[in-house]
Each structure stands twice: as C-alpha cells, then as structure tokens.
Amino acid sequence: MRTLKTQVGIVGAGPAGLLLAHLLRLEGIDAVVLEAKSRQYVEERIRAGVLEQGTIDLLNEAGVGQRMMAQGLPHTGIELLFDRQRHRIDLSELTGGRQIMVYGQHEVVKDLIHARLAASAPLLFGVEDVRVADFGSSAPKLLARHEGEEFEWTCDFIAGCDGFHGVCRDALPDSARTVFERVYPFAWLGILVKAPPASDELIYASHENGFALFSMRSPEITRLYLQCSPDDDLANWPNERIWSELDSRLATDDGWQPNVGEIIQKGITPMRSFVCETMQSGRLFLAGDAAHIVPPTGAKGMNLAVSDIRYLSRALTSYYRTGDETGLLHYSTTCLKRIWRAEHFSWWMTSMLHRFFDHSPFEQRIQRAELNYFSTSRAGRTAIAENYVGLPWTD
C-alpha cells in the first residue's frame, strides 16, 4: 500500500472534477484526480453541447477558453417548432446581450485534461475500486487501486465529482441524504451526423409523434435527437426510421430540413430529474451529476456542474487563504438554490415540448396553448430566454 498526502482528493474526471482541480491549482492548492475510465474514453464521450454565458466567462477567466473561443459556435437565439411553424427566441435581445456557445462537453474535457497534464499535476486514469473514508474527521481518506497497486491518500477534503453512477453519493450517511426524483416516460435517441448543420440555431420541435431536437457540434457535424420510448433499443431504430421520423417531426411550412449524412454515432439517454439533499457531509462534498440530474431539454446539466464547482472552489480557496469555513458550511444550501431553479426550468421545458402518450385530448390542447403563449408573447419568450442563457451569479 502506498500512502500519500494531498489537500483535495477529487473522484471523477468529468467537467466537474477537472474544473475543480484546475481552479484549485490556479490558487496553489494541491489535488489528485482519480478517474475510472481511460483518457481516450472521457475525451470521446459525447454529451452536452450548450454552454451558458456564465460557463463561457468562467472558462475564459480560468485561462482554458482559447480553443472554445476559436472553435465554439456562439448563438444568439433558439427556435421552437410546432404546427409546422418556427418561432425564434432571441436570447440576446431578451436578456441584455447574453448568449450561449455550442461547444461539445468532450472538447471542454480535452482542454482541461491538457491544462492539467501540461502542468504535470496528478490525474490518474483507469483507477479501480475507489473508496472514501473518515470524512467525518479532519483527515479524510481516499483509497483506490491503480495499475495493480493499492493507494491511500490522506486529504483535507474530498470532492465527489463522480457522476450519477459514482460511489461518493452512496457514501453519505442515510441521515444526510434525501432524494427527490422524477423518471420520465420517454428517452432521447441521439445521433451524430456527418453533414453541415442546415440551420445556424438549435431547433426544439414538439410534434404529435414526439419531441425532436436539431443541434450541432461543428460546421461539419449535425447533432439530432428524437424522443423514443424509455425501454427502447437501438435495434428498433434503423437509419431509415430515424430519417423518416426526423422528416415528420422537423417538417416546416417554409420547407426547412436538416441535411442528411452518414450517422457516425447513435445512443439512447434516459430522462430523469434528481436531486440529493444535502450535498455534503463532514469533509465530503458532492458536485455535478453526483448530486443532481436534469433532463437535457434545458441544456443545463454541465452548466450546473460548473456552477457547483464555482462555489466549491471559492469556498476551498477562502478556507486555505484565511481559515474561513463559512463558504464550506453553506456550500450545499448555496448550490441548491441554483440547482432547483434549473430543475424547474428543465422539467418545464421537458413537459411543454414532449408528447405524453397518456395525455387526454384536453391535456394535449392545454400543452399546445402553453407552448403557443410562451413562443409568441414577449413575456413568455423572456422567461425562456433568461433561464436558457442562465441567470447571472449574484454572489
């Protein structure tokens, strides 16, 4: 067993864990990041695509935004499509100039891994059997196996950034954990297509066959999603069925259509809303998907992970600079305000845009009336816009 010491032990090299390690390093705070998967796996894992203004600003301030600013696609609006009509939500005009950036989460992850390895800071991939212990004491431990050898780090703090299926949330004592959850009666089938995006803006479509989303990753790659059943199998979705459903669900009277091309990746994502309260126990802190999940309709998941890390890195920095523990003590309460705002927005966008096959005709008409109002009234569009670009941080 090798025994080592660090200030902050971080479990998980997703956006949350990597960003925390980076922000701490800028403050001269040591950390080790332990990741179960390989570097190639995490750098190629296709997930989120939309960065809020606050996320863009934070990555720039942290010195890891160069590639994002050069290659990301800034967007000033999104479109809502229903009854074959497109309705533009002018994000910038409605929010005093704020905007979003389409830049793949895996690109953010690549930028953060590059920064960490370039600084020769500890980041281990392919780590097995990670365990957290003694976080009720002032010397919590992180244990793991790496390349056949057992390791034990004695830390000041542990950050559980290990996603929804990680081990840290389950380590919190039952008395510290209340779970709030909703599982939706549908999932998203996502595809990556080798074809230039046919629109400059994202299109969220509500259709009687189900929801569809037109998005993009780069000037050469289109990203598309279709609502499917929660227990669906990729075998039920041959390419012809995908294109025919996209054709129906994205059809418009103005004749717009996505460009067709080779499908280079297919996957099915279940839809869930989930919050674990609290997000801390003793010296163990949860951040990102380890503590909460939103359905992807509001494009909030990665942005919320970044928001948690902003609070956690500031709290740790004040502790190390001045010994002040206030930020750490209030970490969970502070994060949860923003988390519940995003939970509501994501649930609401999901409920307004998806087809619920058990809805009565009355409920269907009510859903359409809601969508119509929020697409056409300025007040309605403003509510969507300010939530979509992300509310400014007030602290």
Give yes or no for residue 206 binding ligand PHB (CB under 6 A).
no
Q: Taking the complex as a whole, how short is the minimal distance between the CB of residue 297 and ligand PHB, in angstroms? A: 5
Give yes or no for residue 15 binding ligand RFL (CB under 6 A).
yes
User: Of 42-50, 176-184, 313-321, 367-375, which part binds ligand PHB (CB under 6 A)?
Assistant: 42-50
Which of 189, 271, 299, 315 is close enough to bind ligand RFL by CB under 6 A? Answer: 299
Residue 286 to residue 133: CA distance in whole angstroms:
14
Contact (Cβ atoms closer than 8 angstroms) between residue 353 and residue 375: no
Which H or E run includes 284?
strand 284-286
Give yes or no for residue 54 binding ligand RFL (CB under 6 A).
no
> Which residues, in sequence order, are CB contacts of 379 under 8 Å at separation 6+?
none
Rounded to the nearest 10 degrees, the angle between the axes of helix 15-26 and helix 105-118 is: 40
- DSSP string computed for 135-192: TTSSS-EEEEEETTEEEEEE-SEEEE---TT-SHHHHS-GGG-EEEEEEEEEEEEEEE
From ligand RFL, ligand PHB, none, which one binds at residue 34 (CB under 5 to 8 Å depending on kind)? ligand RFL
- Name 2's bridge partners: 151
Which of 59, 62, 193, 302 is close enough to bind ligand RFL by CB under 6 A? Answer: 302
From ligand PHB, ligand RFL, none, which one binds at residue 297 (CB under 5 to 8 Å depending on kind)? ligand PHB
CA distances from 141 to 158, 181, 191 (A): 8, 30, 41
Restricting to residues 220-239, name those near ligand PHB by CB under 6 A: 223
DSSP summary character for residue 289: G
Catalytic residue among 103, 204, 311, 319: 204
DSSP summary character for residue 2: E
Give yes or no for residue 37 binding ligand RFL (CB under 6 A).
yes
Catalytic residue among 140, 197, 295, 296: 296
Residue 317 to residue 310: CA distance in whole angstroms:
11
Restricting to residues 98-137, name those near ligand RFL by CB under 6 A: 105, 127, 130
Q: Would residue 295 show up in a list of annotated catalytic residues for this protein?
A: no
For ligand RFL (CB under 6 A), the number of binding residues is 36
Binding site for ligand RFL (CB under 6 A): 11-17, 34-37, 42, 47-50, 105, 127, 130, 161-163, 166-167, 188, 190, 269, 288-289, 296, 299-303, 305
Binding site for ligand PHB (CB under 6 A): 48-50, 202, 215, 223, 296-297, 299
Q: Which residues form the catalytic set?
A: 75, 204, 296, 300, 388
